[in-house]
Amino acid sequence: MAKDRTIVTLLLLAPFIAELLSGATRLSVIYVLIPEVMTWGCGALIIRELVRRWQGARVSLLLLAPTLAIAEEIIIQQTSLAPLVFAGSNPTYGRAFGVNWIWLLAMLVFESFAVVLLPLQLTELAFRDRRNAPWLRARGFIIAGAVFLLGAFLAWFAWTQNYCIKILHLAPYHPPVLYIAAGLAAILLLGLASYGSRGVALSPDRATSKPAPPLIVGIVAALVVYPWQFVIALNFNLLPHLPFWIALLVGVAYTGTVFLILRRLSAAAGWSDLHRFAVCGGATVAVMVWGVTTLWHGRRLDQLGEAIFIAVGFAFLADLGRGLLARGKSQQAEQKTYA
């Protein structure tokens, strides 16, 4: 039963954070949550199980997480290949050689983080006793794979064959076979790199300094995650005259800087589950702010839905935080007893 709750939590958290909290999926179209659970949820679960089965560490997970984003952007919904059709987007900005480069960068980072890394960390914090164990047996792995493929087909059909053609009345778009092959090759290479780096530690030598207080860690996480919304907004005429190659370089540099900041924080001696929770909580709050700004001028129904989603998100974080605090105090009391 505990295993089932663990799996269901990850299946729901992946689309909840990436789609509902961010404002990408709104209450007025909540029915699309079904294929999102099938693709995002099962995709995150499969990535987690692969890393655990070959006993990979954080480096292995970081390399495998982008494969789901590549599958989404190049193969499933193909939004990084077809001209952008979102309301308010600029279909020409950042587009060269048949690729929406700014959108591709923005989604590779966002989907890797919000679909895989963040939901997985929160789920493993919620079920700490099962964080190092596989959650699926062979049959469960096959079922998850089948559900993922079905969800991917539904998402592909609903977006490329129905919405874009029948609702937006666009001409059918057929991505070059070479680009699809390149996407599949990138997924394969990242998978091999993830497997090959399964014994590589992200921080082999932990620092002796004490970590910053969890509250400070959470604030830092929120502050470094939130600006990524502006990279996404570049596709919506935020800086239409900025050369897109400069935007790409800045985006890559910023991603690397955030990675180094979080790596530095987590390398301190005494880094605990409370600190991990602070990083996840701060990042989730940043995504919530994205949702508010995204729907600021949206429909009342969607604004109400976003308020409900954020309330549920805060309730989940508060409950998880209380549990971690109680556990930490209990461990401190035990240490004093046996000291």
Is the pLDDT reported for residue 324 higher than 80?
Answer: yes
Enclosing domain of residue 252 = 2-338
pLDDT of residue 338: 43
One-character DSSP codes across 137-206: -HHHHHHHHHHHHHHHHHHHIIIIIIIIIIIS-PPP----HHHHHHHHHHHHHHHHHHHHTTT--S-SS-
Average pLDDT of the residues in 76-83: 96
Is the pLDDT reported for residue 50 higher than 90?
Answer: yes
Summarised one tens digit per residue, pLDDT across range 193-247 is 999 998 887 665 555 578 899 999 999 999 999 999 999 999 999 999 999 999 9
Measured from the Cβ of residue 253, the count of other Cβ atoms closer than 10 Å reads 10
pLDDT-above-70 percentage for the chain: 94
Summarised one tens digit per residue, pLDDT across range 86-108 is 988 999 999 999 999 999 999 99
- Its pTM stands at 0.93
Mean pLDDT over all residues of the chain?
92
Q: How many domains does the chain have?
A: 1
